[in-house]
């Protein structure tokens, strides 16, 4: 009697790259979380559905401290997909994995004994920005995201609304919500608006909340940029 072998299911694997936000921890932990809580109050739901990696370089000395960072962030609704800047011996199977390749090899922290790992190829940077044009008012509660380039709003941005751009943000009206630029293209990005009433301004992770914006710039045409690692504002 002949036996006919039945082929099993085909298992397919594909290599893909996904954009993740890296949250850089700092010490002491308590003041860092105090500032983080202020950010969350200004941007509720900002981390909802986002892929987040925690960079613990120079901040966690042992597994217990890593676990505390993860626990404190989880209590604030931040779910991590990976860790950077920690030794593999500090992480167990119940914790997010240690990611490699997202930074220069000289900054990686290897375990005490580890086999050499070939440096992965760096992902190609976007060749040409893909810009987004929104020809209407952005209402409270709405979120406009374009990580591939600039965002231009022909209208106003209401209080409680959020604009996130890989490059620069241009608002040809009142900016009363949150504007977060430079998510992909970094500190060279800028924010421009016809009338400034913003709750939060941020470029490449450097930000100012409403309390830290000089009254002289309120209700004025303003541009925002980074200079010497600080956020600068000037009237247009």
Report the range out of 34-43, 128-137, 183-192 with the highest average pLDDT. Answer: 183-192
Reported as a pLDDT band with limits 50, 70 and 90, residue 94 is: confident
Residues 21, 47: Cα–Cα separation, whole Å: 9
What domains appear along the chain, each with residue ranges and CATH number? 21-107 (3.30.70), 132-235 (2.160.20.70)
Q: What is the pLDDT of residues 213-234, one digit of tens each?
A: 899 999 999 999 999 888 999 9
Residues 191, 184: Cα–Cα separation, whole Å: 14
- 234's CB contacts (< 8 A; 6+ apart) are 222, 223
| DSSP at 140 | T
Does the model's pTM come out above 0.85?
Answer: no
Q: What is the pLDDT of residues 138-167, one digit of tens each?
A: 998 888 888 888 999 999 999 989 999 999
Q: What is the pLDDT of residues 71-84, one digit of tens each?
A: 998 898 888 888 88
Reported as a pLDDT band with limits 50, 70 and 90, residue 110 is: very low
């Amino acid at each position: 009697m002949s036996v006919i072998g039945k082929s099993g299911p085909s298992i397919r694997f594909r290599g893909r790259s996904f954009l993740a936000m890296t949250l850089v921890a700092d010490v002491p932990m308590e003041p860092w979380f105090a500032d983080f809580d202020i950010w969350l109050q200004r941007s509720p739901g900002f981390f909802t559905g986002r892929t987040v990696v925690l960079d613990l370089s120079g901040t966690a000395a042992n597994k217990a401290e890593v676990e505390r960072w993860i626990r404190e962030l989880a209590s604030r609704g931040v779910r991590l997909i990976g860790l950077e800047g920690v030794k593999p011996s500090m992480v167990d199977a119940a914790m997010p994995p240690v990611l490699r390749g997202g930074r220069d090899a000289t900054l990686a922290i290897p375990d005490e004994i580890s086999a050499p790992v070939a440096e992965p190829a760096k992902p190609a940077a976007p060749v040409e920005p893909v810009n987004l044009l929104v020809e209407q008012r952005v209402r409270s509660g709405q979120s406009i995201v374009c990580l591939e380039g600039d965002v231009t709003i022909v209208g106003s941005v209401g209080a409680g609304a959020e604009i996130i751009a890989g490059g620069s943000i241009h608002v040809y009206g009142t900016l009363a919500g949150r504007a977060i630029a430079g998510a992909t293209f970094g500190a060279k990005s800028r924010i421009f608006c016809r009338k400034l009433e913003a709750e939060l301004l941020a470029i490449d992770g450097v930000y100012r909340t409403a309390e830290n914006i000089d009254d002289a710039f309120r209700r004025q045409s303003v541009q925002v940029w980074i200079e010497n690692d600080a956020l600068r504002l000037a009237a247009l």
